[in-house]
Structure 1
């Protein structure tokens, strides 16, 4: 199942910079592991925002929820998920 996911990140200003840096490093490592596994085949930055659009290729809604909630930045994210289906005009 393919999903388009928009993630907007908002780390509160009260989070100490060293803690924020550690969370971002853990996020990078986790996301790259998912990319290598094929579960997260595409990620694009939204220009001028701390946000991204990503494509996830997973077996179920529950698997996607588990992967997203495992993101170290998850507590600081607003996430919008759109399920995708094959378009009849696609070649």
Structure 2
């Protein structure tokens, strides 16, 4: 199935892919990010009208910090908590 300009390969994966604490390598101090956490972050960000590229969150720390800062300024308390969790992961011991 061809991908439209608004979707990525991740949009076509089964929902089970994002559950169960699947850990993927990333360029963060902890070396790995939980896909369920990133999927939740992406979902909550969409709820406040913001878009998040999960792949970019894994490999572009500047982008990740910008998205985390935007989330932290949101009125959604769960999104703010997710932002703090991600911030701690990205700032973790190197």
Task: Calculate the TM-score normalised by the size of structure 2.
Answer: 0.33
Larger fraction in helix: 2
Q: Which has the higher relative contact order, 1 or 2, with Cα contacts under 8 A spaced 6 or more apart?
A: 1
Q: Which entry has the higher C-alpha Rg, 1 or 2?
A: 1
Return the TM-score normalized by structure 1.
0.34
Higher strand share: 1
